[in-house]
Amino acid sequence: MPQLGTLWGIGVGPGPAGYLPLAAFAALKQADVVFAPRARSAETSVALQCLAGIDISPQRLREIEFSMSPDRSVLREHYAQLADTIAAELVAGHNVAYLTIGDTLTYSTYGYVLAALRERLPELPHRTFPGITSYAAAASALGWPLGEGKERILILPCPDDLFGLQRDIETHDIVVLMKIGTRLAWVLDLLRDMGIAEYCGFARRIGLPGEILTTDIDNLCATEAMGYLATLLIRKTPRERR
């Protein structure tokens, strides 16, 4: 029986090509098989778009359709099937790279995949490379400092209720809001009602087609800005001059 292959978790992007640590790039070049997730509603994998200019031969590439279902039982089955597919490559002795957008272990599907694989292959050799989070990329693109001095930062997926989000904003200096989706319209209304829209920043699809980068939240149209890969940087007071 061949020795188990190695699993490498690699965060790419989010956005412009080149946002890839050198150590992760070296592992990617050594991988026999590269798994690239693609949302079921998308024609192409955003992870591969983030690797524009890096040659990955079609023979090594496995583009996998990803379920975005909110049903946990559906997701469990999906991850189980995906883990079985990847495990088959590893058992055959192939080194596998699994791509994920942003940081590998920050609100990432890779964490679920890794856990499922370790259940199946307890002795699995693996290494996870840190990547660039969406909010770090957004802050850099906007020139928007993420925390200065002793400012308190809260990073969270968008709550379902307005009052919960308002409470989070009021009890922190900065809120990084992810997984906003269709809630964007009422979130923007809340920021305007609180009188803090001018202190905030918004980014979507950084470095990719359809990019939006703005600190003009007052005039941001929710209908046009809504979508996947969106991040809001919320500051409840003006930035202190030092």
Q: How confident is the model at residue 54 (pLDDT cuts 50, 70, 90)?
A: confident
Q: Is the pLDDT of residue 70 over 90?
A: no
pLDDT at 94: 96
Q: Is the pLDDT of residue 215 over 70?
A: yes
The 8 Å CB, 24+ separation contacts for 197-202 are 199/234, 199/235, 199/236, 199/237, 199/238, 199/239, 200/232, 200/233, 200/234, 200/235, 201/138, 201/139, 201/142, 201/144, 201/232, 201/233, 202/230, 202/231, 202/232, 202/233
**Residue owning tokens 């690239």:** 36
The 8 Å CB, 24+ separation contacts for 24-27 are 24/129, 24/131, 25/54, 27/97, 27/127, 27/129
Nearest to residue 98, comparing CAs of 11, 17, 4? 11
Q: What percent of the chain has pLDDT over 90?
A: 64
Contacts of 187 (CB under 8 A, 6+ apart): 158, 165, 177, 180, 232
Structure confidence by residue, pLDDT tens digits, 87-96: 999 999 999 9
Thinking of the domain 7-129, which architecture would CATH place it in? 3-Layer(aba) Sandwich (3.40)
Residue 198 vs residue 54, higher pLDDT: 198
Where does CATH 3.30.950.10 sit in the chain? 134-235
Terminal Cα distance for the chain, rounded: 64
**Three-state DSSP class for 165?**
helix
Helix spans in the chain (H):
22-30, 46-49, 72-91, 110-120, 134-142, 162-170, 184-193, 222-225
pTM exceeding the 0.85 threshold for the entire prediction:
yes
CB 121 within 8 A of CB 4: yes
Fold for domain 134-235?
A: 3.30.950
DSSP 5: P
Where does CATH 3.40.1010.10 sit in the chain? 7-129
pLDDT at 48: 77
Residue 73 vs residue 80, higher pLDDT: 80
Q: What percent of the chain has pLDDT over 70?
A: 94
Strands 174-178, 230-235: pairing kind: antiparallel
User: Among 36-40, 101-105, 118-122, 232-236, which stretch is predicted with the lowest mean pLDDT?
Assistant: 36-40
